[in-house]
Structure 1
C-alpha cells in the first residue's frame, strides 16, 4: 500500500486521524493515532465507511473501504466484495468454486489478468495458471474478517507490480474481533452457511484469532451445483499499529458441479436457461498458506517485512464447444494446476528534507517464486483420454521500487517513482520437448503524480505511469502449437501498459464527497495465454479511455447514498479489417446504493447495479445485452448480541445474464459449427436469512 502523506506543516495525514479510527470499536485507544490538527469536518458515518477524505490519497481513483460498509450490503458470492470498489463488476460464468469474472475500465479482466488482488498480504493472482493468466480465485475469502479494502486504479503506484495495470486491491483481515460470534445462513435451493470466529488474549501481549466457515449450495441449476466448501483462518499477533507482528495459517477446500455457458440457439430450441449440455462439468480446488509480517511506524518513518508460503491445487472440467472437436466423446477438457508459492517483501519509508522541502521516500523489494505442474487434458465425464500438454514450470519475479514524495509548495505535492521488474521462466514440457526452455524479461516502470490543493475543500490530481502484466511462462519458450503441431512464435515475458489520469475530489458541498477521474490506458499488445486451447495468442495493441464519477452523500447522519458511474471507450489501436472493437469491453457501468442505519433496531440497504452492453466481435455486429439488478438487505437487532438479516438478490426477478460470449460451437446432431451467442444466466430472485449471535 502506498504511503499517503500530508506534508503541510501542522497537519497529519487524515488516514491515521482518530476520527476515522474511533468509529471502529475493536481498535484500542493506544493503537489509534492522534487526531489531525486541521482534520476536515466530516459526518461520522462517512468515516465509518470510507477513508477517502481530502488529503488521504494520491489519486482521485484511490481509496479505502471500511468493514462497516461491507456489513451494510449483501454479497451473493465472496468475490463480490470487490464490487464495493467503484466501477468494478463481478460475475460468474461457471460453478461458484471457480474464480469470478471481473470487469473494470473497459476490461473483461477474465479471471483477474489486469487487476491485482491481495488478501491478508497474500497474492491471489496466479501466473502461468491452468485456466488463465492471472487467475484470481477469491472464494476462500471470509467477509466477516475483512477490516478494510485499499484500492487503486491505473499503473501509477510504484509498490504494485504484476497484474495491476487496470488496478489493484489489498483486502486486509482483522487480527482481533469485537466479540466471538456465530452466524447461520439459510436460503433457497439448499443454501446453508455456518461461520463463526473469535479472538482472545493469551498473555504477554499475544492475541489469537480463529474463524471457520462451512458452506453448501445447489443453486438454481438443472444440474445441482452441490458446492461444498470448508474454510479456516488462525492468526497469532502481538503489538499495535505502531509496532507489532502477526502470523496467519489459512486453509480452504471446495468441490462443485458446474453449469457452463450455453448457446442461445439451444435455449430457443427449448433448453432450460439454467440447463447444462455436459452434466459432468465441475471441479475441485484447495489452498493453504502460512504467512507472517512485522511492522514498525514512528515519527520519522516506517518499516515492514512480510513472507508467505502457499500450497495450491485446482482440477477444472469444462466444455464450451460441446461436440465441435470430438463428436464421439464430447469436447470436455480438464485444466489442472498444482503449485507451491514462496514470497518475500520488505519496505522502508523515511521522512526527510530535499532541497529544504519536506519529503518522504520509500524503497521496497518484492520476490515471488512459483513451482508449478500445469496441464491441459482431453476428458470424457472427468476421465482423461488424451494429453494436450503437460509442463513443469519454475517462475521467479523480482521487483524493486522507490518513490519520493516532495511538498513543492503548501498547495502542491509531487510523487516520483521508479519500479524495476525482472522475470525468469524455466519450462520443462513433458508432452513436447520442443516447447521446453528458459527465458527472461525485464521492465522499467516510471511513475509520476502531482496533487494540488485543497482549495474550497477541493483537490486536483495528475497521475501517469507504466505498468505491466506477465505472460504465461509456456508462451515464452513454445515453438510448436500443442494441438496442431504448427510452428508458433515465442512471446515476451512482460507486456507493458501506459496510463494517465486527471482527477479531482471535493467536499465543497457539506455531506457530499465526489471524485471525478478522466483516464487513459494503452497496451502495446494484449498477449494472453488461452488456457482452453493450450496456446498463446497474440492480441492487437489497444487503447482505452474513460470517465469515472463517484459520489458519497450523507444528507442526515443515519442515511448514506453511494452513486458511481463509469463510461469507457475501448478500441484496438491498429488498422484491421476485422474491426476496432475489443470483444467483451463493456461501455458503461453504474451503481446506486441507499443505506439507512440504526433506525431504532432496524437497518436497510438497497442497491441497483447496471452492467452495460459491450461488443462481442470486433466489428460490433453482435453485442451483449445490458443488465440491471437490484439487491436488498433488511436487518433487525433482536437483542444487544443477536441480529436477524434478510438478503434478497435480484429483487425483481429480472431475466439477465452474468456473461455473454460469441464464438463457434457445435451441438450433438448438428452437421457443422455455428457461430452464436453463449451465455450464463444470472441467478433468479434468491432469498437468504442470517441469524448472527455474539457471545
Structure 2
C-alpha cells in the first residue's frame, strides 16, 4: 500500500500539489504523536531519511522571526544571520557550511527557485526577503544529497516553502516596533465560481534598525494567485512582485570598536542597495490511485544594485574601497514529473521520472564606486547559462520491514560568457555530472525506524570562472574551473516515537566536496580552494508532555576539515562547530499563548590554522499572544530578550582604515541587533 504523505515526492521548483511520495508505506500501523498533525509531518513511516521532514504553518505562527529568511531556522540545524543591510540576502549556516548566501542549500518559494547562479554578489545567492510568512502553508525540507529530485545547490540540503492558495479568512496585520519599524500586511481569498479561487496579499515595510546611519529599509511586496481544482487534480498560477531599497551598515574591524568606535556605526554611510524581483508561474497536477503527473513553468525578472565597502581604504585610499555589484537577469524554467505504481518482481513499487530545465540570461558586473557613483570597471559580462537535469528513481517494498529506493540523476550545464571589459575572459564551456542515490528504510520496530542514505550531489560554479583566463584586477593568468562541483554524502539515521508524546530523530552524516572553489564577487575572480570533508551528528526532538505544551530541541555537532595536507592548516574558515535551538511553546491557555526560544551559534575557526576563532552567541526570543476577540489577536515579540552583546557574523581578513599606514589583519564583525520589541495587531474578517 502506498504512503499517503508527500514529503519526498516533489520535484524542486514545481510547487504545491506535487507527486505522491516515492516511498512505500510500512505495513504496521502506528499511533501518531498529536504534534505531527498540527505542526509537523515527521511521524514514523512518513519520510525517506531521518533528516527529512515537513513543518506546518501552525508552528511558524508560534515563534517570532526577526527577518523573513529566518523561517528557514525552523529547519533543524539551520541558523540564519545577516552581515549587511536587511535588503540583502541572509547568511546561512548548516552542517558545517558557512553557506554564504545560499551556495549549498537550495530554496524554493511557491514553486520558484530562489538561488541565483552566476550572481553579482555570490554563487547561489538566495534572497528570501520577498517571502510573506503569513502565506506559508508548509516547509518541506531535505538534508544531504540523497534525493533524485533535487539538483543544483542542494549538497547540504534543500527546502520547498509552499504557499497557500486559499485563506480561512481575510486578514490585516499591523506591526509597530522600535527604531521606526512599521509593517502592514493584508491578505484574503475568495471563490470566483466554477471552482476558481483567487488569493491576494500585499506587504509594506519600513525599518531603520539600531544603526547610527538609519537603514531606511523600504519594502513593497505583493502576491496574486488564481487556482482551480483540488489536490487530486487542478492548476494554479501566481504573479509575484517585490521591491526594496536600503542603506546598510556592513561589518567593521574589531580594532575600531576597541578604540571607541560605535559597534553599530558605519565606516561608509553610502553603502546599501536596491533590488526588485517579479515572477509569473503556473503548475498543473493530477493524482490517481496508480500514479501522479505534475507540470510547472516559471519566468522571473530580477534586478540588484549593491554597494559595499569591506576594506575601507586598502586599495584606493583617495576614494575609498566601495564597489558595486550589479545583476540584471531573466530566468525561464520548466519542470515535469510522472510517477506510477507497479510491481517489480512481484513486489509493490513506485517509479518516478522527471525533467528540470532552467535558463538564465544575465548582465552581471563589478564596478569601483565612490558614494554610489561609478569610477571604474572591474568586470562587466553578458552571460547565458542553461542547466538541464533529468532523473529517475524506483522505490520497492522489499519486505514488510524493508523499503529500498534507487535513483539516478543526470545534469548538464552550458555556459556562454561575453566579457565586455576584457575579451580574454569571454568564451563558452559545458559540464555534466551523474549523481546516483540509494536509500534503505528499515522497520518500524517498537515505533522506531532506521535509515541508510547515500548519494552524490553538486553545486554549479559561476559561469565566469569556467571561461576566465585573466584575473580582472591584476591581469595575471588564471586557470579555468569546472562548471559542476560534486559532493558525496552518506547518513545513518533513526526516528522513534517509542516514548509517549515524543518524536525524536538522530542522524550521523558525512559529506565530501571535491573542491571548495568560490567565485568571489567582491574581487570578480575565482578563489581556488581545497577538497573538504565534513561529518557530524544531529539530534532533533519534538515533545508534547501536555496537549497545550510543545517542546522543540534541535542540537547539531559538526567537524569540518580540508581533506588534503597544507602548512596553512586544515580548518575550513567560518565552519561553525555547534548549533542549537530549544523552544518551549504554550498554546491555547484560554486567550493566551507564549513561546520562548533559545538560539545558539557556536564558535568556528576563522583561518585555516585555527589560531583565530569566532565567538559563540546565545540569544533568547520571546513571543506572547493574547486573543482579544474571535477575530482579533495581539502579539508581543521580544528579540534578544536579555540584550546580549553578540555578533551575527565574524570574519578575519586584512583591511586598512583611513589614516592607517598599512593593512591590518583583524576580525571584522557585524553585531546582532540589541533587544528589539515589536507589537502586532492582527484582525480577521
What secondary structure is seen at the aligned counterpart in 1 of 2:523?
A: coil
Work out which of the residue numbers 669, 682, 694 in structure 1 matches 2:659.
669
> For 2:133 and 2:679, how far apart are their aligned partners in 1?
16
Per the TM alignment, residue 15 of structure 1 is displaced from its structure 2 partner at its CA by 5.5
Query: Which residue number in structure 2 is paired with residue 13 of structure 1?
Result: 4
The alpha-carbon deviation at position 639 of structure 1 amounts to: 0.2
1:281 lines up with 2:271 in the alignment: yes
SS in 1 for 2:443: strand
1:85-123 superposed Cα distances (whole Å, 9 cap, x missing partner): 000000000000000000000000000000000000000
Instruction: Give the structure-1-normalised TM-score.
Output: 0.95
How far does residue 528 in structure 1 lie from its aligned partner after superposition? 1.2
3-state SS in 2 of match to 1:126: coil
Q: Does 1:380 align with 2:370?
A: yes
Q: Which runs of 5+ in 2 are unaligned?
A: 8-16, 18-24
Cα displacement string for residues 292-333 of structure 1 (whole angstroms, at most 9, x for unaligned residues) = 000011100100000000000000000000000000000000
Match 2:548 to one of 552, 558, 561? 558
For residue 631 of structure 1, the aligned residue among 616, 621, 624 is: 621
Q: Among residues 108, 118, 137, which one is paired with 1:128 in the alignment?
A: 118
Alpha-carbon distance in structure 2 between the residues aligned to 1:109 and 1:198? 35
Instruction: Provide the rounded CA distance (Å) in 1 between the counterparts of 2:6 and 2:363.
Output: 43
Asked whether 1:240 is paired with 2:226, we answer no
Distance between the aligned counterparts of 2:568 and 2:28, measured in 1? 57
Q: Provide the C-alpha distance between the structure 2 equivalents of 1:157 and 1:449, rounded to a whole number of angstroms.
A: 9
Counterparts of 1:591 and 1:253, CA distance in 2: 32
Q: Is structure 2 residue 132 aligned with structure 1 residue 142?
A: yes
State the distance in 1 between where 2:602 and 2:4 align.
37
In the superposition, the TM-score normalised over structure 2's length comes to: 0.97
Which residue matches 1:302? Answer: 292
| Residue among 472, 478, 487 paired with 2:462 | 472
CA distance in 1, matches of 2:425, 2:525: 11
Q: Is the 8 A contact 1:666 1:674 kept in 2?
A: yes
In structure 2, how many angstroms separate the alpha carbons of the residues matched to 1:524 and 1:312?
Answer: 31
User: How far, CA to CA, are the matches of 2:96 and 2:6 in structure 1?
Assistant: 30
Matches within 5 A, 1:386-535: 386-535=376-525
CA contact (8 A) 1:15 1:51 kept: no
- How many angstroms apart in 2 are the aligned matches of 1:139 and 1:389? 27
Aligned to 2:539: 549
Q: Is the alpha carbon distance of 1:39 and 1:686 closer, same or farther for their aligned partners in structure 2, counting shifts above 3 Å?
A: farther
Contact 1:608 1:631 (C-alpha < 8 Å) held by counterparts = yes
Matched, 1:319 2:346: no
Contact kept? 2:26, 2:401, Cα under 8 Å: no
Provide the C-alpha distance between the structure 1 equivalents of 2:325 and 2:452, rounded to a whole number of angstroms: 43
- Matched residues in 2 for 1:492 and 1:67: separation? 40
Kindly indicate whether the alpha-carbon contact (under 8 Å) linking 2:26 and 2:45 is maintained by their aligned counterparts in 1.
no
1:105-120 maps to which residues of 2 (within 5 A)? 105-120=95-110
Q: Could you tell me whether the CA contact under 8 Å between 1:265 and 1:676 is conserved in 2?
A: yes
Q: Deviations over 1:382-410 (max 9, x none)?
A: 00000001000000000000000001111
Whole-angstrom distance in 1 between the partners of 2:634 and 2:32:
30
Matches within 5 A, 1:261-272: 261-272=251-262
Kindly provide the CA deviation profile for residues 140-192 of structure 1, in whole angstroms up to 9, marking residues without a partner as x. 00000000000000000000000000000000000000000000000000000
Partner of 1:555, secondary structure, is strand
CA distance in 2, matches of 1:212, 1:662: 40
Summarize the Cα distance change of 1:205–1:94 in structure 2 as closer, same or farther, 3 Å threshold.
same
- 1:213 partnered with 2:225: no
2:596 match: 606
Classify the secondary structure of the residue corresponding to 1:317. Answer: strand
Q: Deviations over 1:476-495 (max 9, x none)?
A: 00000000000000000000
Tell whether the 8 Å contact from 1:106 to 1:570 is kept in structure 2 after alignment: yes
SS of alignment partner, residue 545 of structure 2: coil
Check 1:416–1:37 CA distance in 2 against 1; reply closer, same or farther (3 A cut): closer
Residue-pair matches, total: 669
Per-residue deviation, 1:40: 2.4
Deviation at 1:38, TM superposition (A): 6.3
* Pair 1:691-2:681 in alignment: yes
